Amino acid sequence: MIETALHTHLAAHGAVHADDRGVALPRHFGDADAEYRALRERAVVVDLGFRTVVRATGADRTSFLQGMLTNDVAQLEPGHNRPALLLTVQGRVTADVRVAAGDDALLLDVDIRARGALLAALEKLIIADDVELTADTTALIGVEGPRAAAIVAGIAAPVRVLAGGELGAEGFILHVAADAPAVWDRLVAAGALPCGMDALEGRRVELGIPRIGLDMDEHVLALEVPVESALSHTKGCYLGQEVVARGTARGHVNRKLVALTLEGPLPPPAAPLVRDGKEVGHLGTVARAYGAGTPAALGFVRRECWEPGTEVAVRHGHAVTIARVATVPLA
């Protein structure tokens, strides 16, 4: 199991860790409800050690990635992340990235569990381009919440601060080259409450934000998930662009990712969704939606089940849980 750069430090400060698809991450720091409230009302600091940085260097790095990724990376705003996807030629999702401009490189912030697929796909396509892709040891720390901007503005540390976080534009990602524990402590001293994945994932589900490996992968079309901010419809060609353009012109897909509230025993991810005896989809992320006061999930359903309030059954073992299509945000 992968341990993050902050693992030992956070364990000594009350973090309760668990295996999150091969990465040991803090589930909570003793009170997930309080962490959720701080996330909504103040500011929290989050260990983003499940993500990592890939550096793209070389004279052709911008033109190469402009032709590969779904968003416009030729005009990056300093100090900001820009979300993008790497697709297959069939328009399916290989990885999601946040792209930022460094002094001599483009910085690709990617889920560590998707890094291998991202590198393998891109390296196959580097032919005569002057581009080199290298994994970086930079630690990533997230700051989320209404007071996030004030917290990071006062941080006196040698870090790269980028606007655009796990939950959207309000958050920030800090790239920390050295002594991540000291940076974490400074953020806490500035007023950010340590927050684990329970509260973060609960809020992500409430907002309907998909995660790679749970809600999108090589079996999922980009147009089936709510990733509009990661797609440019004006920049021209990129890998999988024809499929995206064709689907956009048609105006619909046959299934899509929706938010679901759950009633009954908590089901596992990937459990099938059934209506009138017919399978109509499956679950992705399953979490507690703290603000909505209910278990909730993201899941794929077919077109006939998109209407909010539609009920489907989640089958898992001998248990049956009722799932209702909901409008985001759930809270």
- What is the number of other CB atoms lying within 10 angstroms of the CB of residue 319? 12
Residue 39 φ then ψ, to 5°:
-60, -40
| Tokens coding 91 | 């328009």
Cβ atoms < 10 Å from Cβ of 93: 28
What letters, b where the CB count within 10 A reaches 16 and e where it falls short, cover 202-217?
bbbbbbbbbbbbbbbe
pLDDT score, position 185: 97
Residue 92 C-beta-side C-alpha neighbours within 13 Å: 10
Q: How far apart, in whole angstroms, are the C-alpha atoms of residue 81 and residue 120?
A: 23
Kindly report, as residue ranges, where domains of CATH 3.30.1360.120 are found in the chain: 1-207
Asked if 190 and 151 touch (Cβ cutoff 8 Å), the reply is: yes
Contacts of 6 (CB under 8 A, 6+ apart): 47, 49, 139, 141, 180, 181, 184
Cα gap 100→82, rounded to integer Å: 6
Sign, Cα dihedral of 277, 280, 283, 288: negative
Instruction: Extract the tokens encoding 205.
Output: 């589900």
CA distance 281 to 331: 24
Rounded Cα gap, residues 266 and 260, in angstroms: 12
Distance CA 256, CA 248 (A): 14
Q: What is the pLDDT of residue 319?
A: 81
Which pLDDT belongs to residue 155?
87
- What's the one-letter identity of residue 223? L
Q: What is the largest CA-CA distance in the chain?
A: 59
Provide the residue-wise pLDDT of the chain in tens; the chain has 331 residues: 999 999 999 999 999 999 999 999 999 999 999 999 999 999 999 999 999 999 999 999 999 999 999 999 998 999 999 999 999 999 999 999 999 999 899 999 999 999 999 999 999 999 999 999 999 999 999 999 999 999 999 888 889 999 999 998 889 999 999 999 999 999 999 999 999 999 999 999 999 999 999 999 999 999 999 999 999 989 889 999 999 988 888 877 899 999 999 999 999 999 999 999 999 999 999 999 999 999 999 999 999 999 999 999 999 988 889 999 999 999 9
- Cα dihedral 30, 33, 34, 36 in deg (nearest 10): 120
pTM of the model: 0.95
Domain at 1-207, CATH class: alpha beta
CATH of domain 222-326: 2.40.30.110
- Report the distance separating Cα 260 and Cα 120, nearest Å: 34
Cβ-proximal residues to 251 (8 Å cutoff; 6+ apart), any chain? none
Domain with CATH 2.40.30.110 in the chain: 222-326
pLDDT reported for residue 252: 78
